[in-house]
């Protein structure tokens, strides 16, 4: 038994009790020491390996348990894994696979078995959610029984959240928070002391921001263009998990929201939902009609759009954004009247927050229009790697999510179904390929 299990570092040194201590140590303190001591960890585990593109993942036993390195890494035992579209799209379309054989998986809930350092806010046996955006480091992939994570990518779960629920929301939360906070400049400091990411990224030395996201982080949106409470945001693909978390966070920050969805499929659920009911729900079936409905309702007040589906819908969403001359080269004067702020007085005073003079901002989670951004609009991609590459950002996000979950301000998305065992992941991904998982998450319970 002892040769199979190895004790991991940071093991609490058991003090030899002195006569005084033998009397003084209260029972709760002993329990606390027991709770903080690292858990036994096997040397090998079962993982899912991808050996080539367009092949199923292979269940593989006797694979080494990943080793922690450095002061920020924690080892977590997997309990439930949330499946993401990238997990089937990457092998099917042969992208985002940096090496073979590859281990996939972006998020899980589990139990801390080894904490990173004595000062860490994490301790052994903590129930946590791990968000693994660092897909190039196979030790951090979640399709395995033990996973390494940065402490600044690990969120403690409150007792009210089950492992299955905890495994559903990590990637979507990070994408939503960065889209809103960095690309749109939303300040979350009034929401349980959340991060002001616009300011935070500007405090990071520019050379510490990866070159491919530096422009988005530092020049993506100007200070006077930032989204503030009362501004409108339209989300095309409102049934997705990333839309779910985006709507929740946007509403907490006081934005007004529009979801474009297949209303026959999702309308009733979304219209009656406690946390993701939007101010306007628009049917996606006829895209041009959806654009017309948004434009006639918003009358030039919509500057922010997030698309979660792909290039085509992002291109359509662009037409709904204002200034409304984005879709057509010139704006006829009649149409200009239509775009005037509905609440504005007949002779509007010169105001710097006139939405018709500010740029439109389109964020693509899955793709952006092929054309370059027309005058008056800016395109954005979510700088997701900030989460694992910049500890200050990761830390700000995970500690905020801990508070949001503990206070019940953010709710996990619906669980559509739960599969059991790492071996069932291929089946789960097939269900996702067929479009069976809609309006929520498929979760795999592992232990």
Ligand X SMILES: NC(=O)c1ccc[n+]([C@@H]2O[C@H](COP(=O)([O-])OP(=O)(O)OC[C@H]3O[C@@H](n4cnc5c(N)ncnc54)[C@H](OP(=O)(O)O)[C@@H]3O)[C@@H](O)[C@H]2O)c1
Residues pairing with 66 in the sheet? none
Nearer to ligand X by Cβ, of 126 and 216: the residue is 216
Site string for ligand X, 302-321 (x = CB under 6 A): ------x-------------
Location of structure tokens 């005084």: 20
Separation CA 41–CA 197 (nearest Å) = 37
Interaction mask 381-420, ligand X, x per CB under 6 A: -x-x------------------------------------
| 3-state SS track over 42-97 | ECEEEEEEECCCCCCCEEEEEEECCCCCCCCEEEEEEEEEECCHHHHHHHHHCCCC
Question: Quick one: which of 84, 114, 132, 316 contacts ligand X (CB under 6 A)?
Answer: 84
Min separation Cβ 269 and ligand X, Å: 11
Rounded to a whole number of angstroms, the minimum distance from the CB of residue 291 to ligand X is 18
Query: Using CB under 6 A, which of the segments 58-66, 368-376, 414-422, 432-440 binds ligand X?
Result: 432-440
Nearest to 217 by CA among 204, 229, 227: 204
Question: DSSP code of 223?
Answer: G
Please tell me whether residue 167 binds ligand X under the rule CB under 6 A.
no
When asked if residue 432 is in the footprint of ligand X (CB under 6 A), the reply is yes
Q: Which of 103, 38, 97, 113 is nearest to 64 (CA)?
A: 103
Cβ(124)–Cβ(39) below 8 Å: yes
* Nearer Cβ to ligand X (432/444): 432
Question: Which positions from 252 through 281 interact with ligand X, judged by CB under 6 A?
Answer: 261-262, 265-266
Of 148, 221, 365, 398, the residue at the interface with ligand X (CB under 6 A) is 365
**Nearest distance from C-beta of residue 432 to ligand X, angstroms:** 6
- Contacts for 356 with CB less than 8 Å, ≥ 6 apart: 300, 322, 323, 339, 340, 341
433 contributes a contact to ligand X by CB under 6 A: yes
| Residue 240 binding ligand X, by CB under 6 A | yes
Instruction: Please tell me whether residue 239 binds ligand X under the rule CB under 6 A.
Output: yes
Asked whether the beta carbons of 278 and 259 are under 8 A apart, the reply is yes
**Cα separation, 163 vs 412, whole angstroms:** 11
Give the residues lining the site for ligand X (CB under 6 A).
Answer: 84-86, 171-172, 175, 239-242, 261-262, 265-266, 308, 365-366, 382, 384, 432-433, 435, 437-439
């Amino acid at each position: 038994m002892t040769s199979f299990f190895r004790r991991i570092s940071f093991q609490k040194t058991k003090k030899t009790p002195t006569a005084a201590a033998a009397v003084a140590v209260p029972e709760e303190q002993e329990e606390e020491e027991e709770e903080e001591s690292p858990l036994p960890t096997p040397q090998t585990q079962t993982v899912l390996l991808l050996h080539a593109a367009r092949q199923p993942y292979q269940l593989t036993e006797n694979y080494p348990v990943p080793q922690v390195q450095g002061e920020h890494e924690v080892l977590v035992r997997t309990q439930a894994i949330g499946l993401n579209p990238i997990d089937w799209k990457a092998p099917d379309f042969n992208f985002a696979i940096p090496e073979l054989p590859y281990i996939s998986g972006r998020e899980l809930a589990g139990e801390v078995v080894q904490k990173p350092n004595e000062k860490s806010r994490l301790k052994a046996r903590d129930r946590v959610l791990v968000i693994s955006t660092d897909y190039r480091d196979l030790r951090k992939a979640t399709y395995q029984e033990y996973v390494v994570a940065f402490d600044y990518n690990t969120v403690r779960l409150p007792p009210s959240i089950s492992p299955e629920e905890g495994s559903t929301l990590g990637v979507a939360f990070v994408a939503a928070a960065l889209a809103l906070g960095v690309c749109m400049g939303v300040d979350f400091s009034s929401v349980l002391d959340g991060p002001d990411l616009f300011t935070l990224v500007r405090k990071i030395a520019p050379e510490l921001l990866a070159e491919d996201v530096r422009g988005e982080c530092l020049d993506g949106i100007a200070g006077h263009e930032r989204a503030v409470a009362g501004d409108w945001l339209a989300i095309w693909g409102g049934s997705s998990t990333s839309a779910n978390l985006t709507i929740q966070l946007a509403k907490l920050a006081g934005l007004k929201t529009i979801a474009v969805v297949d209303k026959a499929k999702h309308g009733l659920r979304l219209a009656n939902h406690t946390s993701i009911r939007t101010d306007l729900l628009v049917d996606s079936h006829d895209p041009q009609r959806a654009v017309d409905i948004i434009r006639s309702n918003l009358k030039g007040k919509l500057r922010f759009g997030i698309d979660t589906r792909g290039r085509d819908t992002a291109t359509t969403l662009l037409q709904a954004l204002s200034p409304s001359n984005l879709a057509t080269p010139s704006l006829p004067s009649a149409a200009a009247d239509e775009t005037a702020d509905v609440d504005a007085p007949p002779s509007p005073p010169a105001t710097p927050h006139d939405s018709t003079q500010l740029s439109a901002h389109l964020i693509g989670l899955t793709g952006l229009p092929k054309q370059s951004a027309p005058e008056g609009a800016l395109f954005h991609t979510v700088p997701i790697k900030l989460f694992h590459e910049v500890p200050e950002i990761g830390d700000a996000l995970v500690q905020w999510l801990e508070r949001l979950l503990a206070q019940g301000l953010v709710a996990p998305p619906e669980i559509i179904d739960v599969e059991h065992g790492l071996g069932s992941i291929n089946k789960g991904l097939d269900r996702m390929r067929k479009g069976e998982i809609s309006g929520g998450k498929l979760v795999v319970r592992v232990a």
